[in-house]
Structure 1
């Protein structure tokens, strides 16, 4: 029978410890939840990407991004667009999260006050590829000679595409560099696919694209008999006049080696395509898109070497901090070995760990005093009862003193009986034994009360 009673005594009172820890635990849990949900929220699983016109390179690459990011459980919703200017406006209006934008669309050729506004609240995820300016001309019996200068376009029917696509603005700058007014040409504003049909049907004399060579319409026109590609023989001079342009070469035979298409090298000028996002895009999604861009655009191409793109260079919009770190150090450590969502979970747990440390360290100093107070309070509260016994005896009238004395002695016996059942950790046993000795001391004082009263008299 002694063993069960001995089990009541231990070095630590688990119940009191749990009660003392409970407030700290609740505060830490709330702080961790807030840090997990607010400080570093979970990245969204749906992203809206603005692409380009029908059959454009932007649309083709948009499908590739959707396929790559789908492997990580991220749904990329593609929004077709007329071009860069529309994409920039959609980003500013919050209609899309990320978009393809051509260099020169945000600053060059715009008013000084408009350029910063176009870049406000936007970040670049890097340059992706070059977008040569393709000027395709329909061969005509009336024009036997190959055009060598943009000045020879005067009077021709040339399609530049809808306003806001980037191409009209870009081509006007090229015309201005040649002292040619847009009014000297008969300009139309058809979209890419209808413009291509109009060129093949003889309704227009030429059309201008600015696109990567992967665009289906570019591939088709390069191989279509009777369609000529304009050779920018002064390409290097254009890049000095318009710094956002680069000089690229379309090598002979690159389209079809067997048929020797094209039959010579073509000098071209090219802006670059960049991936632009809203500044509030989740950092984890920035890493995911840069990783996808490396997979999609990192290989060798018609105008680029292996590993040349994607790149933090050639961007007019400031590169996002996460993207710059990715280009400098490679993918985050955890993403090299874990899935996107698992790596992101561990990254977010670091935020929780910081919040945990910030609270646990100071609150841990509160737990020991709170625990000691709870344990000792089980002993100290009985001292009020002992003081009440003493006051009852001392204030009792002389005639009723024996009855009061007997009643208070019974009360002391009850207190002692209840105190003997107190469970207290061994580390605080001194307080319990001190209480028991004080009960005996009060009992002695109660019994000796008549004698002390007589001595006083």
Structure 2
């Protein structure tokens, strides 16, 4: 039983070896093609990526943390760069110091940055321009009221009566006020300069400062400044605090549509009544705001797999409804100032491959970037694979046929005069023992039995010639 099992395992091992050796040239060619394509395409991304976010504690920094946690699940480490804001982020992309960055609309130079290879992975969210001001900073006009008569008919002296203070609704009303326009590098000072210039206001018409949002909010509530401007998401803690602060109001931009026409990077959005806090009715009415869209920008030198991963992550982080947008308004490719990369367009507007739901990122990415090469290799190897069966058959049969040369040599010696036929019979016996030890698959057993039959025929001839010699 053991001998039979051993013999069966030997046959399987020999067959497998023959098959591997026969298919070896084709397999080596396929491996060389795939290795060359892998080297050329470089499908696997680096393990580290640099993301320019914004000041510590800002909305950009918070979103950066979310991206870092999401990408870490796919073993990609996000190195976050703390910057001054959007302008600093676009500069980091231009210089190559960052691979990906959050950039607010109006910060990029569309023509120059497109030529420099900076692309968008999609618009992520609105960043409204929030202009908070102290209500008591708007001085009411004091007018003399006309004289009136008392109930007794006597004239009462004229009194000063305060008229209601009109709310701040145009940028022209900022003239002469102390206004903070956010810190340098955030991009807000540049945007405010353009808006003020459109209203005929130069820097000398206002008392401008450039404090960080947290410091500016404290200064506003402390009466050190009259108004402050910041551009950030509604989720910003500074925005939430000022919307609830007594004596602080949010500017309702009366000319919002006009600004959106004149400045393409701006859009009109509405902060709905009560969206901040329904019970307290904050805000007490709908407020029109100007907003930009913040996009996730990248360089064309950033690895395509990283661009794909960031775009797919954006789908999960920015698709919910917010104070000023509905669900699935973001991410989008409609409001991007720069050309959208193919990876961003596929992630936002396309349908992901079905295998992404079943494979880890590295395997899904490898298949997505190599499938065309793999298909080409298969098409190339199909005709070449036809040589494998003949090669396999040749190797198996060669194991048998190689002994026919020795058998033919023995047979030739039999016909020579003076040949030692006993010695030739010994050689035939040795050849028969060798043949009995040859292992071939059952499909080729016929060749082995043919060899043994032919050895027996030559043996019979040798014995027939040996008999007369003995008589």
> Could you say which TM-score interval applies, normalised by the shorter chain?
0.7 to 0.9
Any idea what the Cα deviations from partners look like across 1:27-52, whole Å, max 9, x if unmatched?
49957985997667556676544322
Any idea what the Cα deviations from partners look like across 1:258-297, whole Å, max 9, x if unmatched?
4444344332111111223444666666565455544443
Q: Counterparts of 1:236-255 in structure 2 under 5 Å? A: 236-255=257-276
1:15 counterpart residue number: 13
2:84 counterpart residue number: 82
**2:406 matched to 1:385?**
yes
**2:52 matched to 1:50?**
yes
**2:173 matched to 1:171?**
no
Task: Say if 1:9 and 1:426, in contact at 8 Å, map to a contact too.
Answer: no
> How far has the Cα of 1:189 moved from its partner?
3.1
Q: Distance in 2 between matches of 1:263 and 1:220?
A: 16
**2:123 matched to 1:127?**
yes
Q: Counterparts of 1:2-41 in structure 2 under 5 Å? A: 13-23=11-21, 24=23, 27=28, 30=31, 34=35, 41=43
> How far has the Cα of 1:368 moved from its partner?
1.3
One of 256, 266, 270 as aligned partner of 2:287 = 266
Deviates more, 1:142-151 or 1:248-257: 142-151
> How far has the Cα of 1:407 moved from its partner?
4.0
Q: Counterparts of 1:151-170 in structure 2 under 5 Å? A: 151-170=172-191
Secondary structure in structure 2 of the residue aligned to 1:232: coil
Task: Say if 2:219 and 2:225, in contact at 8 Å, map to a contact too.
Answer: yes
**Structure 1 alignment gaps of length 5 or more:** 451-457
Task: Say if 1:334 and 1:343, in contact at 8 Å, map to a contact too.
Answer: no
Any idea what the Cα deviations from partners look like across 1:320-370, whole Å, max 9, x if unmatched?
33443343355554555x5xx647646646757758845763553232122
One of 333, 338, 341 as aligned partner of 1:320 = 341
Q: Distance in 1 between matches of 2:186 and 2:431?
A: 92
**Structure 2 alignment gaps of length 5 or more:** 141-164, 467-471
One of 218, 228, 238 as aligned partner of 1:217 = 238
> How far has the Cα of 1:87 moved from its partner?
1.9
Task: Say if 1:36 and 1:349, in contact at 8 Å, map to a contact too.
Answer: no
Q: 1:449 to 1:47 in 2, by over 3 A?
A: same
Any idea what the Cα deviations from partners look like across 1:404-442, whole Å, max 9, x if unmatched?
565445434433443344333444345445545655676
Q: Distance in 2 between matches of 1:387 and 1:432?
A: 16
TM-score relative to the length of structure 2: 0.74
Q: 1:429 to 1:100 in 2, by over 3 A?
A: same
Task: Say if 1:293 and 1:310, in contact at 8 Å, map to a contact too.
Answer: yes
Deviates more, 1:208-217 or 1:162-171: 162-171
TM-score relative to the length of structure 1: 0.76
Deviates more, 1:213-222 or 1:17-26: 17-26
Task: Say if 2:85 and 2:186, in contact at 8 Å, map to a contact too.
Answer: yes
Task: Say if 1:379 and 1:432, in contact at 8 Å, map to a contact too.
Answer: yes
Secondary structure in structure 2 of the residue aligned to 1:365: helix
Q: Distance in 2 between matches of 1:449 and 1:104?
A: 108
Deviates more, 1:419-428 or 1:212-221: 419-428
Task: Say if 1:136 and 1:206, in contact at 8 Å, map to a contact too.
Answer: yes
> How far has the Cα of 1:169 moved from its partner?
2.3
**2:411 matched to 1:415?**
no
RMSD of aligned residue pairs (Cα, Å): 4.3
1:455 counterpart residue number: none
Q: 1:374 to 1:335 in 2, by over 3 A?
A: closer
> How far has the Cα of 1:247 moved from its partner?
0.7
Q: Distance in 2 between matches of 1:425 and 1:418?
A: 17
Secondary structure in structure 1 of the residue aligned to 2:288: strand
**How many pairs are equivalent?**
434
